Amino acid sequence: MPEFAPDPMTLAILLPLFGAIAAFLAPRAAPLIGLGAVGAMAAAIAAVGHAVAQAGTVTVPLGGWGAPLGIELRADGLALAMLGLTALIALAVGLGALSAFAGEAPADGQPMPRQRAFFWPLCLLLLTGMNGVYLSADLFNLYVMLEVISLAAVGLAVLGGTVAALRAGLAYMYASLLGALMVLLGVGFVYLQTGRLDFAGLAGAQGSPALSAAFALMLVGLALKAALFPLHFWLPEAHANATAPASALLSALVVKAGLYILLRLAEAGPFPGEAILTLLGVLGTGAVLWGGVQALRAERLKLLVAWSTVAQIGLIFVALARAGTEGLSDSWRAAALLILAHAVAKAGMFLAAGRIKDVIGHDRISELDRSAVRPALAQLAFALAAISLIGLPPSLGFIGKWSLMEGAMGAGNWHWIAVTMAGTLLSVAYFSRALTGFLRFDRVRAPLDEHRGWALADAPPVVLAGLAVGLGLAAGPILAVLDLGRPFGVTP
């Protein structure tokens, strides 16, 4: 028997898969299995981190064939950061899910344990897909991974089982499928032009009509999946109507898959051109403004948070497009920082919003201040996450915005700074709607019942939101990690 020594990257993808299988087979033990699998995955990711720290970029030729015949897994700093982020959020959301699905039956009379039984397999399959996306160096494999993510994400989005959730989930399904099919056709065009499917083949290619078409298809497909304005129409309802842990995963991770693939495509291929970047910046601006405006008039807390996702995604696109003098080789860092910041903060925020909704019994913003019960810690978590999303120092969101504005300023793009500022002001405005509801007390009739002790469910949002704020101080190490293996071929 040869010694058994799988590489950590494969493990990072397959461990959650095994977890999903086990959780599916043994629904009763699903939470335990799920947390165990996430923990094991985190360990594998730590091992990947070790390898990346040693070697910069690590590749595994699956099946021993190597590109272009076989599929390769590749990890560098950017992938590592995303892997770590995923592990962190999965862990936190998993803990949050323990009690989120353990509570009483929801309004429509569905038995909750069923949700819990299905949450874990879907969540773990989602993690499989996410990790697969981060580590993949093959275009078609990315398509398959996107489909894994899509199906798992739709499953999570409709976990609540309400009509609204199902409708939103179906719209999400269609958008997601269409996006994936566009990517597929794009892959076809790439193959047509280069005869290869790996990133390396793309890297050597010259610009050509077929590649332009491929990029156009993949860009639109991924933008649809990442909910870039005006292709965001599916997102708010889908994220707002899902159960809180699912929303956290969808908002923090799933939309990032599209962004990540775009970054990778841009890194490998002879695109995008200057005009496309400007277009992305403009669309990002539209997202920042429209998302902000819609968040301002959202009536429910989770819907507000979902619209804020639209705005933040727009900001990330602005960063991607315009945060540097050297194009993407300069601006990807700002985009990556914003991706990380948004993921951590938004996961915390959705979990907090879920807690608030659970404790108060509803999440209508206008009536938050009528409740005699105030989930103080969840509200604190919400506020902390808002700080990061607004971009106040010293949060990670601030560091991301700083990088964005610094890059834009360096390139003399003051109007993009103005966009960022406008987005910031809008976010202050819409988040303060919620905060005002938390902090107002004079509309409460009943005696105030403020402190109901600590619940385990409070820990994940508080920790995540705290990290979203505190990680700003660790921006140096984070940037160092991102630069491992020199993504985009530039030294910091």
Partner 1 sequence: MTEATIYGLAGLAVFGLGLMGVLGAADRLRRLVALNLCAGGAAMVLVASSWRPPPAAPDPVPHALVITGIVVMVSATAVALALIRRLYSLETDTDA
Partner 2 sequence: MPGLALLAAIGTPLGLALLLALPAARGLVWRALPFAPLPALALALFGTVPFTVSNDWLILGSVLGLDATARLFLIPAALVWTAAAAAARVWMAGDRRATGFGLCFLFAMTGNLGLFLADDAPTFYVFFALMSFSSYGLVLHARSEEALGAARLYITFVLAGELALFAGLGLAVGETGSLMLADIADTALSVPTVALLLAGFGVKLGVMPLHFWLPPAHGAAPVPASAVLSGAMIKAGLFGIVATVPLGEAAYADLGVVVTAVGMVTIFAALLMGARETAPKTVLGFSSVSQMGIVALGIGAALMAPGAWGAVLPVLVFLAAHHALAKAGLFLGTGVFAVQHRPAARIAVTVALVLPALILAGMPLLSGALGKEALKTALGAGPAVWLPWMTLALMLSGVATTLLMARFLVQLWRKRPAAPAGVESDALVIPFVLLALAAAALPAIWPTVAGSAAQPIAEAAPGTPWPLVAGALIATAAAVASHTSRVGWSAVLSTLTAPAERAAARVGDALARRRRALARKARALPPALDGWIAAHRLGQTGIAALLVTVLVIGGAQHVAPTDPIAPPAAEQNGP
Partner 3 sequence: MIDMPLLPLIILLTSLGAAPVLLALPERSARLRTGLNLAVAAVKVALVIWLAWKAAHGVVYDLRLSVLPGLDLHLQADPLALMFVALSAVLWLVTTIYSVGYLERGPHRARFFGFFSLCVAATVGIAMAGNLFTFLVFYELLTLATYPLVIHRGTAAALRAGRIYLIYTLAGGLALLLGTLALWGLAGTTDFVPGGVMAEVAAERPGAAQALFVLLIAALGVKAALVPVHGWLPIAMVAPAPVSALLHAVAVVKAGAFGIVRVVYEVFGIDLAQGLGVTGPLIAVAAVTIIYGSLRAMAQDDIKARLAYSTVSQVSYITLGVALASPVAAIGALAHLIHQGVMKITMFMAAGNLAEGLGVKKVSQMDGVGRAMPGTMAAFTLAALAMIGLPPFAGFISKWYLAQGGIAAGQDWVIALLLGSSLLNAAYFLPLLHRAWFRDATPEAANAPARRKISLWLAAPPMITAGFVLVIGVLANAPFSPLEWTRFIVTREFNGGL
Nearer of residues 162 and 424 to partner 3, judged by Cβ = 424
At residue 389, what are phi and psi to the nearest 5 degrees?
-70, -35
Nearer of residues 194 and 403 to partner 3, judged by Cβ = 403
Query: Taking a C-beta distance cutoff of 8 angstroms, is the pair 277, 118 a contact?
Result: no
Q: Least separation, in Å, of the C-beta of 190 and partner 3? A: 35
Contact between 273 and partner 2 (CB under 8 A)? yes
167 binds, among partner 1, partner 3, partner 2, none (CB under 5 to 8 A by kind): partner 1
Number of residues that bind partner 2 (CB under 8 A): 30
Contact between 208 and partner 2 (CB under 8 A)? yes
Contact between 380 and partner 1 (CB under 8 A)? no
297 binds, among partner 1, partner 3, partner 2, none (CB under 5 to 8 A by kind): partner 2
Contact between 170 and partner 1 (CB under 8 A)? yes
Q: Least separation, in Å, of the C-beta of 241 and partner 1? A: 13
Nearer of residues 34 and 423 to partner 3, judged by Cβ = 423
CA distances from residue 45 to 8, 32, 190, 394 in whole angstroms, order as listed: 7, 20, 31, 27
Q: Least separation, in Å, of the C-beta of 167 and partner 2? A: 13
Residues 366/371/375/381 CA torsion (nearest 10 deg): 20
CA distance 465 to 461: 6
Residues 185/124/478/199 CA torsion (nearest 10 deg): -30
Q: Least separation, in Å, of the C-beta of 282 and partner 3? A: 22
223 binds, among partner 3, partner 1, partner 2, none (CB under 5 to 8 A by kind): partner 2
436 binds, among partner 3, partner 2, partner 1, none (CB under 5 to 8 A by kind): partner 3
**What residues between 125 and 154 interact with partner 1 by CB under 8 A?**
140, 143-144, 147, 150-151, 154
Per-residue interface string for the shown chain with partner 1, residues 150-169, x marking contact by CB under 8 A:
xx--xx--x----x--xx-x
- The amino acid sitting at 127 is L
At residue 75, what are phi and psi to the nearest 5 degrees?
-130, 130
Tell me the sheet residues that pair with 72.
61
Contact between 220 and partner 2 (CB under 8 A)? yes
380 binds, among partner 3, partner 1, partner 2, none (CB under 5 to 8 A by kind): partner 3
Q: Looking at 101, 134, 199, 215, which residue binds partner 2 (CB under 8 A)? A: 215
Footprint of partner 3 (CB under 8 A): 376, 380, 387, 392-394, 398-399, 402-403, 405-406, 409-410, 417, 421, 424-425, 428, 432, 436, 439-442, 448, 450-451, 472-473, 475-476, 479, 492
CA distance 399 to 392: 9
**Residue pointed to by tokens 């707002």:** 240
Contact between 182 and partner 2 (CB under 8 A)? yes
Contact between 417 and partner 1 (CB under 8 A)? no
Q: Least separation, in Å, of the C-beta of 385 and partner 3? A: 13
| Binding stretches for partner 2 (CB under 8 A) | 178, 182, 206-209, 212-213, 215-217, 219-220, 223-224, 230-234, 271, 273, 275-276, 279, 283, 290, 293-294, 297
| Binding stretches for partner 1 (CB under 8 A) | 140, 143-144, 147, 150-151, 154-155, 158, 163, 166-167, 169-170, 173-174, 177-178, 181, 184-185, 187-189, 191-192, 197
